Chain A
Amino acid sequence: DTGVSQNPRHKITKRGQNVTFRCDPISEHNRLYWYRQTLGQGPEFLTYFQNEAQLEKSRLLSDRFSAERPKGSFSTLEIQRTEQGDSAMYLCASSSSSGGSNTEAFFGQGTRLTVV
């Protein structure tokens, strides 16, 4: 299966700790997105990369959050000094830029973060 892969699938951490999630997109996709989803809500956009360039960040992405895509392939999302409000499912998606907005995005299974 060459879909979008996210690791880990689950993470439990103590408040105040740092966590890092990884996303491996579909190999030929140059666009990569991060979303966050809390229980009962639809996913919320966090940030977007085209190749290695981070082109947009949501206001939801506080200073404690940082995302990178150093070589335009995999991406990492780091949360520093985690808070209980950070508990959520973090979703990664990828797509090709060749179709503009006339294209589909492929999502990973997500990383479920629980901050205790």
Chain B
Amino acid sequence: DAKTTQPNSMESNEEEPVHLPCNHSTISGTDYIHWYRQLPSQGPEYVIHGLTSNVNNRMASLAIAEDRKSSTLILHRATLRDAAVYYCMMTTDSWGKLQFGAGTQVVVTP
């Protein structure tokens, strides 16, 4: 199974940026990098995904290393509502099965 490596937890102060790293050294050329987050007692929520180029949306930015073996999710200004578990995954097949790891618990302090 395709594996990613993330830190167990990260802390940030409110309104400061958060950089969440992810290693995916086994990534192949057609694998997309996906990020989801899960708030307490909720189902996972899509955040962002990309293939090679950096991506931006209203929630976050995704910076993908040139060799694609790592990526960083950037929350530009953390709010208390961003406190969640963030999952980094690769989709390694054509029908988008997501293989969740343990994720990174983000703690935002006021």
Q: Measuring CB to CB, which residues of chain A are less than 8 angstroms from any residue of chain B?
A: 4, 31, 33, 35, 41-45, 48, 50, 55-56, 91, 93, 95, 97, 99-110
How large, as a class, is the contact surface on chain B? 20 to 34
Bound CA span A97–B97, Å? 11
Bound CA span A33–B44, Å? 13
Bound CA span A99–B92, Å? 14
Bound CA span A31–B45, Å? 17
On whether A108 and B43 interact (CB within 8 A), knowing A48-B95, A101-B93, A102-B49, the answer reads yes
Are the CB atoms of A44 and B100 closer together than 8 Å? Answer: yes
Looking at the complex, which one of B42, B46, B100 makes contact with A109 (CB distance below 8 Å)? B42
Are the CB atoms of B103 and A42 closer together than 8 Å? Answer: yes
> Can you list 17 A-B pairs, Cβ within 8 angstroms, ordered by A?
A31-B96, A42-B85, A42-B87, A42-B100, A42-B101, A43-B44, A45-B97, A48-B95, A48-B97, A93-B43, A101-B96, A102-B32, A103-B96, A104-B49, A107-B43, A107-B44, A109-B43
Mostly helix, strand, loop or mixed at chain B's interface?
loop
Bound CA span A109–B44, Å? 8
Give the shortest distance, in Å, between A37 (CB) and chain B (any CB).
Answer: 8
Give the shortest distance, in Å, between B22 (CB) and chain A (any CB).
Answer: 13
Bound CA span A45–B1, Å? 12
Chain B residue numbers with a CB within 8 Å of A105 are 46, 96, 98
Give the shortest distance, in Å, between B63 (CB) and chain A (any CB).
Answer: 18
Which residue from chain B places its CB closest to the CB of A96 in the assembled complex? B96
B99 within 8 A of A: yes
On whether A97 and B49 interact (CB within 8 A), knowing A109-B42, A109-B43, A110-B43, the answer reads no
Which residue from chain B places its CB closest to the CB of A110 in the assembled complex? B43
Query: Apart from A42-B85, A42-B101, A109-B43, what are 20 other A-B pairs with CB-CB below 8 Å?
Result: A31-B95, A31-B96, A41-B102, A42-B100, A42-B102, A42-B103, A97-B95, A99-B96, A101-B31, A101-B92, A101-B94, A102-B32, A102-B49, A103-B96, A104-B46, A105-B96, A105-B98, A107-B43, A108-B43, A110-B43
